[in-house]
Amino acid sequence: MKTIFVKPREVVRKWYLIDADGKVLGKVAAKAAELIRGKHKPLFTPHQEVGDYVIVINAAKVVVTGRKSHQKEYIRHSGYPGGLTSESFEKVIKRKPVFPVEHAIRGMLPKGRLGRKLYTNAKVYADGRHPHGAQQPEKIEI
């Protein structure tokens, strides 16, 4: 089987809009990661950027199932001794409403240079407004 190499000028890039209002965090992130990666296209190659752009609106209204709003923790470390800080989903969504969606999407993309480049194709907004109207994004239902 031959390796597929797609020329960048042959890739048709579309814009998609996902409304996360009342949707489950993992399902929103999984769909966004699939579209960003390009797995829905027949010319998908895992080592190239062939995916589309994704706009996620109403990220502040995303939900998690069960008791995860209390139990799910986001951990960071300052680099200093004793600098470990953890916050629950409830506190993070109040302080930085787009962070949980961004974190989930980034975690579902490949690690390394390609994943960092692909993540720039995700645009996440806390409310229903976005500045990408000129791109005429296609609305995706989850």
Please state the pTM of the whole predicted model: 0.93
Alpha-carbon span 38 to 45, nearest angstrom? 8
The fraction of the chain above a pLDDT of 90, given in percent, is: 94
Give 23-67 pLDDT, tens digit per residue. 999 999 999 999 999 999 998 999 999 999 999 999 999 999 999
Domains along the chain with CATH numbers: 13-65+96-140 (3.90.1180.10)
